[in-house]
Structure 1
Amino acid sequence: MTAWTTRRATAADAAAVVGLRALMFSEMGVPGVDDPGWQEAATAWFERELDGGRCCVVVAEDADGEVVAGAMVGLRFETPSPVNPNGVWGLLNNVATQPRARRQGLARACVEGVLDWLRDETEATVVELFATGDGSRLYEELGFAPTAWPAMRLRLDR
């Protein structure tokens, strides 16, 4: 087992975070993963947002300093409701681990890191995610529960 550490990502980690995002999409079977357009846009987005207060990415790096895993949470602001009285939500996503670094607790450590950020530095009271089959067990162990209403999506043509 290789030694690793976790830390909050900064703008300098944008390319590595996009690489993990591409890995996640690839393993989910999402088409267009190799399109450089979205990757360039995502890199620019992470460069702007990682040092701000609207999202947090926690990465794990190996002994050589290579980012091998990560998790992200972003804030969503909605009208208060019975489910979330203050309307501040966390959306957990972008959880990915390079194949060579799996089964070492890295995804869990990264998810716990972003949940700590939500608890300690934001007003979020509810966290949501869209789980893959591989991730469901981890999320359930961390206290996530399925919801009664699965997501639906409409893509607007522009």
Structure 2
Amino acid sequence: MSDWTIRRATPADASAVVELRALMFASMGVAGVDDPLWREAAHGWLERELGGWHTCVALAVAADGRAVASAMAALRFEAPSPVNPNGVWGLLNNVATQPQARRQGLARACVEVVLRWLREETEASVVELFATGEGSGLYPELGFTPTAWPAMRLRLDR
């Protein structure tokens, strides 16, 4: 990993993060990855959020300045519960690595930066993620455990 720098993203990195998100969605088989509407919306959202306090993105950046891996976390606020007594959740997502940079520990390093942010700079008491098959081996090594209830989703037509 000596040729890479792991750092937190800034609003200036929004385009690179959108491209890594697109890579992640494509590898998951999500339809519409090339749709410019979500990309434009994501770019604007990232420009705003990366300058704020409740989203963190870590990037692995090559010596030539290319972002080749990422991990993101955002805070979610809910009513306190037995599972999460303070109601502040971290949602880990956007863990992606360009194919040529895989198997070098870059995704792990990015996730560790994001988890450090969640531990040290937020009030999150539980971190949740939705793992892909390819990335699922990493998370138990970092302390994540499966939940009893799988996610369900309803898309509201607007």
User: Is residue 2–residue 62 contact of structure 1 (8 Å, CA) maintained in 2?
Assistant: no
The aligned amino acid for 2:64 is D
Superposition deviation, residue 65 in structure 1: 1.3
The aligned amino acid for 2:124 is A
Superposition deviation, residue 102 in structure 1: 0.5
Aligned to 1:26: 26
Percent identity between the aligned chains? 77
The aligned amino acid for 2:75 is L
User: Is residue 2–residue 63 contact of structure 1 (8 Å, CA) maintained in 2?
Assistant: no
2:56 counterpart of 1:56: yes
Structure 1 residue runs without a partner (length 5+): none
Superposition deviation, residue 42 in structure 1: 0.1
User: Per-residue displacement from partner, 1:66-93 (whole Å, max 9, x unpaired)?
Assistant: 1000000000000000000000000000
Aligned to 2:68: 68
Aligned-partner SS, 2:152 = coil
Instruction: Find the aligned partners of 2:79 and 2:66 in 1 and give their Cα distance.
Output: 40
Aligned to 1:15: 15
User: Per-residue displacement from partner, 1:82-122 (whole Å, max 9, x unpaired)?
Assistant: 00000000000000000010010000000000000000100
What is the aligned length?
A: 158
Instruction: Give TM-score scaled by structure 1 length.
Output: 0.98
Instruction: Find the aligned partners of 1:108 and 1:15 in 2 and give their Cα distance.
Output: 22
Aligned to 1:157: 157
Instruction: Give TM-score scaled by structure 2 length.
Output: 0.98
The aligned amino acid for 1:85 is P
Superposition deviation, residue 15 in structure 1: 0.3
Aligned to 2:107: 107
The aligned amino acid for 1:106 is L
User: Is residue 59–residue 69 contact of structure 1 (8 Å, CA) maintained in 2?
Assistant: yes
Aligned to 2:135: 135
Deviating above 4 A after TM superposition, structure 1's stretches of 4 or more consecutive aligned residues are none
Aligned-partner SS, 1:136 = coil
User: Is residue 73–residue 93 contact of structure 1 (8 Å, CA) maintained in 2?
Assistant: yes
Aligned-partner SS, 2:13 = helix
The aligned amino acid for 1:127 is V
Instruction: Find the aligned partners of 2:35 and 2:65 in 1 and give their Cα distance.
Output: 27
User: Is residue 71–residue 92 contact of structure 1 (8 Å, CA) maintained in 2?
Assistant: yes
Superposition deviation, residue 2 in structure 1: 6.4
Superposition deviation, residue 24 in structure 1: 0.2
Instruction: Find the aligned partners of 1:66 and 1:155 in 2 and give their Cα distance.
Output: 35
